[in-house]
Amino acid sequence: MARTLTSTITLSSTTTGSDALSFSVAADLGIDLPIKNIGRVALNASGGADTTLITSPSAAITYLYVKNMGLQTDGTTATTNVAVLETGGTAFAEVPAGEWALIPVVDGRSIDAISGSSHTVIIEYGYWTKA
């Protein structure tokens, strides 16, 4: 059975320069197993154990979605901590509270995450492997 993930991003602003910014890009991405549809997990505070989001996916590209919910583990206390994404123990991205990222992960890399400071952080995440 063919699987498709439709992605769309729209960026617009009237305050980024002298000209207005407005564009949208959409793509239908062919995907296959393994897939992890959306779920939530609490990340440990900095200095704690990393949380594995993707464990050595296939050599194909894996599309990873991460949203920092801006909440601590109790689900009600706000935090401004970033979610730090790592591969091979090296940070490669930070997702600020309330923001999200869609990252194409290549070369069968494992992706881990941890809070960037002293609070736990709840993230929403999912991944889909390119067909």
Which CATH number covers residue 74? 2.60.120.10
Q: What's the first-to-final CA gap in the chain, in angstroms?
A: 11
**Do the domain assignments include residue 80?**
yes
**Do the domain assignments include residue 109?**
yes
**Do the domain assignments include residue 24?**
no
**Do the domain assignments include residue 18?**
no
**Do the domain assignments include residue 9?**
no
Beta strands in the chain (DSSP E): 3-13, 21-43, 51-54, 62-68, 83-87, 90-95, 100-105, 111-115, 121-130
> 56-112 pLDDT, tens per residue?
666 778 999 999 999 999 999 999 999 999 999 999 999 999 999 999 998 778 999
Choice between 57 and 31, residue whose per-residue pLDDT is larger: 31
**Do the domain assignments include residue 36?**
yes
Domain containing residue 44: 32-130
Whether the per-residue pLDDT at 1 is higher than 80: the answer is: no
**Do the domain assignments include residue 25?**
no
pTM: 0.91
Mean pLDDT for 25-31 is 95
**Do the domain assignments include residue 96?**
yes
